[in-house]
């Protein structure tokens, strides 16, 4: 029996595959390489020693995805596959609704048909929207401010409704805060297409000389230093949280949401200084206007994941900065040779 990991060649997916294999799970990866590269599979074999069954499939392609369900005895699905760029989703909402929502419907229809009714879903803290006050708890009302976030909120609803229709389903909806860092080996890490949207990959590209300086989006937020505060979590902590969530869904029915964060908030300037201190590098930066749609403060209440999954983050912001830099320094062009 095996765990199907959709988007398993991606940043969080690949780190989760490493943890799954270390826990002796059999893994099958589907990925369409829209935000990842074949080299990731080579790196995964290097780290785990395993040839992981892989299918280059877009989850909207029901015929191709059906082949995966035909060829493998699956226990459960960890569902990462989906477009994830907030700005792009505002410019191209139909691309996001079609790929993320229709793709998930195809996946869930096949899960139903092949009696695979256990899912760990890659959701996002973005579903807490702009009306809740941090620290965010899982029972807070959800709202979104961009189509990417809306797809996450809708997929949570799809899964809730499917459970109400068939209570053999079990699901963990994992609301990630801000994943950064990389596997200690430095052989897998975050490799954004084009100009990074997110803070840490931009910082590491400045550090490696690929970008001239970091633009700090606003310094007039109601935070301790005026810059945006976020809950950064090491991607390996996040991956380990998926293993705990998988164990949970294997032994229960029902649907539960869990915050995967550290419960601590760091500002943009905090992260810059932590990165500079941890790695003895300088990050040239300048304060510019706010980025539309950003909120001032986001960090998790992590009580539920600790109590119900027996999971909590362990890596420090310094660990995250050090591991992000090791990945970027040893892979200046990401997975491009
Ligand atoms: C973090 C902070 C920015 C870049 C988004 C999505 C979330 C998830 C993670 C997908 C903010 C500031 C950033 C830069 C900056 N995405 N910043 N200069 O916006 O909290 O979350 O990415 O899974 O769903 O909403 O992350 O890294 O973009 O920004 O000053 O060049 O860094 O304003 O305060 P965000 P981020």
Report pLDDT for 161. Answer: 98
Q: What is the mean pLDDT of the chain?
A: 97
- Which residue, among 11, 82, 3, 6, has the nearest Cα to 40 in the 3D structure? 11
Sign of the Cα pseudo-torsion (58, 1, 121, 8, in order): negative
Q: Give the pLDDT band (50/70/90) at residue 193.
A: confident
- Would you call 9 exposed, middle or buried from its count of C-beta atoms within 10 A (0-12, 13-18, 19+)? buried
Position with higher pLDDT, 337 vs 321: 321
Q: Which residues pair with 259 in a beta bridge?
A: 175
Pocket test for ligand 1, best of 35, 178, 193, 271 (most atoms within 8 A of CB): 178
Tens digit of each residue's pLDDT (9 = 90 or more) over 56-115: 999 999 999 999 999 999 999 999 999 999 999 999 999 999 999 999 999 999 999 999
- Which residue, among 126, 145, 146, has the nearest Cα to 136 in the 3D structure? 126
Write out the two tokens for 199. Answer: 């803070």
List the Cα angle 184/24/171 in 5-degree steps.
Answer: 95
pLDDT at 337 over 80: no
User: Average pLDDT of 234-246?
Assistant: 98
User: Average pLDDT of 296-313?
Assistant: 98
Per the omega criterion (within 30 degrees of 0), is the bond before 65 cis? Answer: no
Q: Is this model's pTM higher than 0.95 or not?
A: yes
CB 250 within 8 A of CB 172: no
User: Average pLDDT of 297-316?
Assistant: 98
SS (H, E, C) the chain: CEEEEECCCCHHHHHHHHHHHHCCCCEEEEECCCCCCCHHHHHHHHHHCCCCCEEECCCCCHHHHHHHHHHCCEEEEEECCCCCCHHHHHHCHHHHHHHHHHHHHHHHHHHHHCCCCEEEEEEEHHHHCCCCCCCECCCCCCCCCCHHHHHHHHHHHHHHHHHHHCCCCEEEEEEECEEECCCCCCCCCCCCCCCCCCHHHHHHHHHCCCCCCEEEECCCCCCCCCCCEECEEEHHHHHHHHHHHHHHHHCCCEEEEEEECCCCCEEHHHHHHHHHHHHCCCCCEEEECCCCCCCCECCECCHHHHHHHCCCCCCCHHHHHHHHHHHHHHCCCCCCC
Position with higher pLDDT, 292 vs 181: 181
Residue minimizing CA distance to atom 7 of ligand 1: 126
**How would you label 78-91 residue by residue, b for 16+ Cβ within 10 Å and e otherwise?**
bbbbbbbbbebbee
Distance 68 CA to ligand 1 centre (A): 34
Write out the two tokens for 54. Answer: 């892989």
User: Average pLDDT of 307-317?
Assistant: 98
Ligand 1 cavity residues, CB under 6 Å: 84, 86, 124, 126, 178, 197-199, 202, 214-217, 228, 230, 268, 291, 294
Tens digit of each residue's pLDDT (9 = 90 or more) over 82-97: 999 999 999 999 999 9
pLDDT at 160 over 90: yes
Distance 295 CA to ligand 1 centre (A): 10
pLDDT at 1 over 80: no
- Which residue, among 126, 139, 177, has the nearest Cα to 313 in the 3D structure? 177
Report pLDDT for 328. Answer: 98
Q: Can you tell me the distance from the alpha carbon of 87 to that of 317, in angstroms, rounded to the nearest whole number?
A: 26
Tens digit of each residue's pLDDT (9 = 90 or more) over 161-174: 999 999 999 999 99
User: Average pLDDT of 18-42?
Assistant: 97
Ligand 1: atom nearest CA of 125 is 24
Which of the residues are catalytic? 148
As its CATH architecture, domain 2-180+233-262 has 3-Layer(aba) Sandwich (3.40)
Ligand 1: atom nearest CA of 178 is 9
Query: What residue ranges do the domains of the chain occupy?
Result: 2-180+233-262
Q: The complex's ipTM?
A: 0.97
């Amino acid at each position: 029996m095996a765990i199907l990991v959709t988007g398993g060649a991606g940043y969080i997916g690949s780190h989760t595959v490493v943890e799954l294999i270390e826990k002796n799970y059999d893994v099958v990866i589907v990925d369409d390489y829209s935000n990842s590269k074949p080299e990731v599979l080579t790196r995964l074999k290097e780290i785990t020693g395993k040839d992981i069954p892989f299918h280059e499939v877009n989850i909207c392609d029901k015929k191709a995805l059906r082949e995966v369900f035909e060829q493998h005895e699956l226990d459960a699905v960890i569902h990462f596959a989906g477009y994830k760029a907030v700005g792009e989703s505002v410019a191209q909402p139909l691309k996001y609704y079609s790929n993320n929502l229709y793709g998930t419907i195809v996946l869930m229809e096949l899960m139903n048909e092949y009696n695979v009714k256990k899912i760990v879903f890659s959701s996002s803290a973005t579903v807490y929207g702009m009306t809740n006050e941090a620290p965010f708890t899982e029972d807070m009302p959800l709202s979104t401010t961009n189509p990417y976030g809306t797809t996450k909120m809708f997929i949570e609803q799809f899964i809730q409704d499917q459970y109400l229709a068939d209570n053999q389903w079990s699901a963990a909806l994992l609301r990630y805060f801000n994943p950064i860092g990389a596997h200690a080996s430095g052989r897998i890490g975050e490799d954004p297409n084009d100009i990074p949207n997110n803070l840490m990959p931009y910082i590491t590209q400045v550090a490696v000389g690929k970008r001239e300086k970091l633009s700090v989006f606003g310094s007039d937020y109601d935070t301790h230093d005026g810059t945006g505060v976020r809950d950064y979590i090491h991607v390996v902590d996040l991956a380990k949280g998926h293993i705990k969530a998988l164990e949970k869904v294997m032994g229960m029915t029902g649907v539960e949401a869990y915050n995967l964060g550290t419960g601590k908030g760091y500002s943009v300037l905090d992260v810059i200084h932590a990165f500079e201190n941890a790695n003895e590098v300088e990050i040239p930066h300048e304060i510019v206007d706010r980025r539309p749609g950003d909120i001032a403060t986001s960090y998790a209440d992590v009580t539920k994941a600790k109590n119900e999954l027996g999971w909590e983050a362990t890596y420090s912001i310094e660990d995250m900065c050090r591991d992000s830099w090791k990945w970027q320094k040893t892979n200046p062009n990401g997975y491009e040779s």
